[in-house]
Structure 1
Amino acid sequence: MALSAKNKTTFVDGTLPRPIASNSLFLSWTRCNNMVMTSFSIEITQSIMFHDHASDMWTDLSKLFNQRNGPRVFQLKTHLHALQQGDHSVNNYFTKIKTLWDELKEFQPTTFCTCGALKSIHEFYNQDEVHQFMTSLNESYNSVRAQILLLDPLPPISKVCSMIVQGERQRTLGSSIPPLASVVQPHPNPNSQNN
């Protein structure tokens, strides 16, 4: 994303080859190429600093760090299975689980369909995400969780998260309001006489 924002992806994918030294663009190309090559962390750069082109560096990094799908998918699913809300807020917990879901989706095959079956697949994945999300919530959300599970069909995961956050706010608000008896103290009647 950073390279794309700076219009430098052509340096890493090799679609902008280095011009010959006599070309007027040679110095500009070299400066941009060097800028891309120095955008990596020092630890990574030390292992690939012998390259002259960002595209060669990128190819080397791809070979070095690109994991096979199987182990990474297993690792992501293990993290998902072990993830619990714990001391995290609902928003923080949702961000963590959504990050794992998004990365896992990168390994799923791209499917194109005109028959309408894709909608059913998306609904199934949504239900699965809703169940995963709510399973790992703290027990204090049991009542709102039960209400959501009664809905048919289940709302989208973003709506479910919003409902849980709303429940969290109501619970927090309820615990911060002192009981009515401690707020309203009876005023002594000025007309009453002390005995």
Structure 2
Amino acid sequence: MTEQLEREALYIHPSENSSLVLSSSPLDGKNFLPWNRSVYVALGTKMKLGFIDGTFSRPTIDSATFEQWRRVDLMVMSWIWNSISKDMVESFMYVSSSRELWLEIQAYVTKLKKIWNELMCLAPAPKCTCGGCSCGVNKGIAERNENTQLMQFLIGLYESFDNERSQILMQDPIPDLERAFSMIFTVEKQRAVQTDLGDSSRHMAY
């Protein structure tokens, strides 16, 4: 990246602050492609794509631009968080850079899509064949199918998620598959962070 491009990437307009939203439709697990495009374009117009695609990587801590880079990177992180639905955003709070956040979102969506595909293979959704259905049966079938997929997802969880499974089943109304997946994903990330902290503490002790 040239010095001119770096200066532009590190510039924050006075009207831009941490409450800025990049997409009019928050990421909810079902709208990743249009959301991804919207955020990508928004960051591109602000010359901030380098922070999420890895082309403007973190400078060394003794670099003259380190603090400025970190400030802008944190700003980009906040913009992306603001563009994620409240039900999902907690799943992505355990990251240290906007690049890591972007990769986490992609991994989340890929994993969710894989689960959807696996569940659809196990229990494909039945469809009304009468044509131009107006009796509402299609809606009922879709709701029943989603509940079935949710149950299959919960049943397939490891025993270590027994408490989370019970909490989900006790909620009224029971959350949909995307929300349940987000809850489990968040717990999984929290445990990973705690494990890393525990390992770091043990290494320091020695």
Q: Please report the TM-score for the alignment, with normalisation by the length of structure 2.
A: 0.37
Greater RCO, 1 or 2 (C-alpha within 8 Å, sep 6+): 2
Q: Please report the TM-score for the alignment, with normalisation by the length of structure 1.
A: 0.39
Whose radius of gyration is greater, 1 or 2? 1
